[in-house]
Structure 1
Amino acid sequence: MPVARFRSVVLDCPDPRALAEFYSAILGGTPRVEDEDWVVLEAPGVPRLAFQGAPDFVPPKWPSTDRDAQQFHLDLDAGPTWAEFDAAHERVMALGARPLDLEDREEKDFQVYADPAGHPFCLCRIEHPRAAESL
């Protein structure tokens, strides 16, 4: 029997509303402002994301050998084809993402970016079993 049920992934940031809008443009859903320091994004098929105001927020460092520099990152499925992946890349860049590692994508099937607050996230090219079967 579990002790608790999963509720949210919470990202600290200087501007919760702006960061919620960034992820809403990528994942869908509509940000719900609960107060100036707490915004929630619920989008179909993804875990609930919440954004908490942290005026003294310091973005994680990536890459870094310092164990405290990065606690976690988000992996986002950009689709099974390179065309979908390239379109997702262009879209996140237009929304304000900053590339952290764009090398060797064909070997890794992912690229690393920072969101506007500096949190690392990956766009991943995921071959879905049904997509591979239909080829």
Structure 2
Amino acid sequence: MSVARFRSVVLDCPDPRALAGFYAAVVGGTPEQDDPDWVVLHVPDGPRLAFQRAEGLTPPEWPRADRNSQQFHLDFDAGSTWEEMDTAHEKVLALGARPLDLEDREKKDFMVYADPAGHPFCLCRIEQP
């Protein structure tokens, strides 16, 4: 049984609106922006892509592996209750995740971890309608 459902791929970038427009042209969908620093693209029949402002971002130089800045992180739906979140938390720790930010989870509705390779991801509590 899986721990969580795939939610989003979040890309850091200097101009979220412009990058969302590029990906909308590539994969379809319409960018939605409620915050100047955050744009979401709902991909038809696909995952959600989100774009987060990161001033001064240094783009990666592929295939170089010596860059240590975050280039993206993954968000996963981990349920709508805190019981489901706690269960998902325990499971990802057992799988080798390392907590990065578990503070104020009730206010933020997410917790941040590093995967075994050090890449950040979030378990998100999603309100059900």
Give the TM-score normalised by the residue count of structure 2. 0.49
Give the TM-score normalised by the residue count of structure 1. 0.47
